[in-house]
Amino acid sequence: MPTYTPPAETPQPSPFDAGSVRASRLDVSGALLALLRDTTTAPRPDPQLEALTLAVAADLPVLLWGEPGIGKTAALTQLAATLDLPLTTVIASVHEPSDFSGLPVIGDDPAGNGIPMAPPDWAVRLVRAGRGLLFLDELSTAPPAVQAALLRLVLERRVGSLRLPPDVRIVAAANPRSSAADGWELSPPLANRFVHLQWVHDADVVVRGLGGVWPRAELPTLDAGRLPEAVAFARRAVCGLLGARPALVHRLPSGESRRGGAWPSPRSWDMTLCLIAFATAADASRDVLSILVRGTVGDGPGLELLAYLDRMDLPDPEDLLADPGGAHLPERGDLRQAALDAVVAAVRARPGRDRWDAAWALLARAAETGAPDLLVVPATTLASLRRDDWDVPVSIEGLAGAVSVSRRADLAKVRALTVARADR
């Protein structure tokens, strides 16, 4: 009688099987990595981040300069996520010039139809999406031929035969040549197409971010009612400065490294005008405006423009002379000094007894509300404008403790007599 043999069972993997243990460990590792990457964002004042978002809102190409590992790429990734824009990253240094200018494709009738320049796949994806953030990374490691090919992309938004949609923003990042991998200086034509922002780390921001909370990048809120005013203010500021300082219209730096940064040209002044209008409409802080202006035309011209903007906010000297008792003088010492000098200059240009007395009344008011040392120069100049038939106003007595007006007036009179005698 045959014996019964049970069917062989399919061996089941043991929970202690090496493959299962390995998979389980990877799952746990993945869970830990997910927890580490689980961060959030919160509103926090950050001038450099506000400057970046304002330039992006103004649709101007931005170039972030910073040492390796400073967080440039992370900032762009977070910006794209906050603005809900698909991020397309292109490493400029690993591409050929044809990747930006387009590859020639021969058709059926090249003599009749020409040879079109086919765009790369990333440009096609951006056009299909209709919007996005194009991130050109490692720009300072791109050789000169690639930089030349990027000129049309950055300025005209063209890649081969394609034009990028208006809702595509361009931001680039670069390391200084000293810390870049086989770095190159940026060519002047390419550098002059960007708003240059120096990206530095804030220890407090880094500590809070590593703790799980990074600052949130938000587009600025523009006041629709201030748009015409903002444009008029920006045009008046830039045109006023360049009218007084025509040498600043175009100034190509002599050093190779400085040519690869921000410098003044008609193109960069046009970008500056745009940024001032956006900053005014968004009521941006002076720190943000300073970062943007100096990043567009350079530190020297940028600081001159900022000083000119301060002078534009000065009160009209004729208004101050008309009502010295109710005049509101600037709080900042340099602006107050400039306002008082403007009043004295107005009296010199159109002298009169009433205007001279009003100027002294204004100086007396300034002595009560500010530092008395600011009055020395305007008081000395005003005293020298006195005519023999003008009585010394009573308001001068209030300045006696701060400025020795009478002694300075006597010295000024002696100097005037000496000059008059010499002329004879």
pLDDT at 162: 87
Q: Is residue 371 part of a domain?
A: yes
Give the CB-side neighbour count of residue 159, counting CA atoms within 13 A: 20
pLDDT at 414: 39
Residues facing 118 on adjacent strands = 103
- In sequence order, the 6+-apart residues with CB closer than 8 A to the CB of 323 are none
Backbone Cα Rg of the chain: 33
Lowest average pLDDT, out of 51-65, 222-236, 361-375, goes to 361-375
Q: Where are the alpha helices (DSSP H) in 245-285?
A: 256-259, 266-281
pLDDT at 10: 56
Residues 121 and 234 in one domain: no
pLDDT at 282: 94
| 406 or 46: which leads in pLDDT | 46
Residues 187 and 235 in one domain: no
Share of residues in the chain with pLDDT > 70 (%):
84
Residues 84 and 179 in one domain: yes
Q: Which of 312, 334, 353 is the last residue of a domain?
A: 312
Reference 257, options 298, 305, 201, 301; nearest CA is 298
Q: Is residue 407 part of a domain?
A: yes
Residues 299 and 252 in one domain: yes
Count of structural domains within the chain: 3
For the cut 80, the answer to whether the pLDDT of residue 150 exceeds it is yes
| 144 or 314: which leads in pLDDT | 144
Identity of residue 417: L
420 pLDDT band, cuts 50/70/90, is low
Residues 338 and 270 in one domain: no
Question: What range does the domain containing 308 cover?
Answer: 224-312
Q: Is residue 184 part of a domain?
A: yes
CATH number (domain holding residue 188): 3.40.50.300
Q: Judging by DSSP bridges, how do beta strands 103-104 and 117-118 pair with one another?
A: antiparallel
How far apart (Å, rounded) are the C-alpha atoms in residues 241 and 232? 14
For the cut 70, the answer to whether the pLDDT of residue 144 exceeds it is yes
Give 66-120 as a DSSP string. --TTSSHHHHHHHHHHHTT--EEEEEGGGS-THHHH-EE---S-HHHH---EEPP
pLDDT at 398: 62
Q: Which of 273, 295, 312 is the last residue of a domain?
A: 312
The whole-number average pLDDT for the span 227-244 is: 92
Give the CB-side neighbour count of residue 7, counting CA atoms within 13 A: 2
For the cut 60, the answer to whether the pLDDT of residue 181 exceeds it is no
Share of residues in the chain with pLDDT > 90 (%):
30
| 411 or 255: which leads in pLDDT | 255
pLDDT at 111: 62
Residues 242 and 283 in one domain: yes
Summarize pLDDT for 247-302 with one digit per residue, the tens: 999 999 887 778 889 999 999 999 999 999 999 999 999 999 999 999 999 999 99
Q: Is residue 150 part of a domain?
A: yes
